Amino acid sequence: MRLIFDENLPVDLVQSFEPPHDVDHVEELGWKGIKNGDLLGRISGNYDAFLTGDTNLPHQQKLSRYDVAVIVIRPHRNTLAEFIALVPAVLAALPTAPKGAVTVVSAE
């Protein structure tokens, strides 16, 4: 499964995902600062899921236009440890996350 992480997620979080997941980070690809619509256009059809911490994304973009599942990760605090604590829930959500829609994984 090909995953891509948004710039608002820690780069070090990538290490928490092992094969069969092939993971990229926007920052490592040189795509930092690209607007969400343009970014979703680039990744649509090329990745299975886009992981982000941007809770406004579903309200700002018409996700049904894109061939990628969007996973919004919402920890209590934006620390690496809090994101890592949600990795098992993210892994559980990935197989059923619908493309063109948002799935929220939350610490709540």
Residues across the chain: 108
Q: What is the mean pLDDT of residues 53-66?
A: 92
What global pTM score does this model have?
A: 0.95
Question: Each residue of 27-39: pLDDT tens digit?
Answer: 999 999 999 999 9
At residue 58, the pLDDT reads 86
What average pLDDT does the structure give for the chain? 95
Q: Which residue has the tokens 């995902």?
A: 17
Q: So where are the chain's domains?
A: 2-106
Q: What is the mean pLDDT of residues 74-95?
A: 96
At residue 20, the pLDDT reads 92
Helix (H, G, I), strand (E, B) or coil at 76: coil
Q: Which residue has the tokens 């256009």?
A: 41
Q: Are 108 and 88 in contact (CB under 8 A)?
A: no
